[in-house]
Amino acid sequence: MAVVSRDGLIGAWSFVIGVILALLVGIFAGSNINPVVLGILAVLGIVVGFTVSERDSQKFLLASVSLVLVSYAGIQGFVLSAAISGIDIGEIIASVLGALLALFVPATIVVALKSVFSIAQR
């Protein structure tokens, strides 16, 4: 059984809570997401970013930059605006993607800055 450090555990829980919160907020709040909730997602993203280890930073940056780019493109050029049973699927998906952006952009920035400082120290 692998030993998990407390930092890794905090980062993992921050990530899980952030993704679940982003999904719930995106689904139920629609385009009226409370700025306080976005702030909570951003803080969770910062915590996640600080707990990513240096050996995992390259994989994390590749995955998170991909997610950020695809989410942004999905929000900007969202073509799917089908209404099923009075529910605007396009608005829900755009809202979920926006909430995920609030979580992943700060995490990506923190990990990228940590990587740059690590390279500069060598």
Tell me how many domains the chain contains. 1
Residues pairing with 84 in the sheet: 87
Residue 30 domain-assigned (yes or no): yes
Residue 2 domain-assigned (yes or no): no
Determine the distance from the C-alpha atom of residue 86 to the mean position of all C-alpha atoms in its chain, rounded to a whole number: 28
Residue 117 domain-assigned (yes or no): yes
Residue 42's CB is within 10 A of a number of other CB atoms, namely: 18
Residue 1 domain-assigned (yes or no): no
Residue 72's CB is within 10 A of a number of other CB atoms, namely: 14
Ranges of residues in the chain with a pLDDT under 50 are 1-4, 79, 82-83
Residue 95 domain-assigned (yes or no): yes
- Domain containing residue 45: 8-121
What DSSP state is assigned to residue 88?
E
pLDDT tens digits, 81-94: 544 556 677 778 88
Residue 90 domain-assigned (yes or no): yes
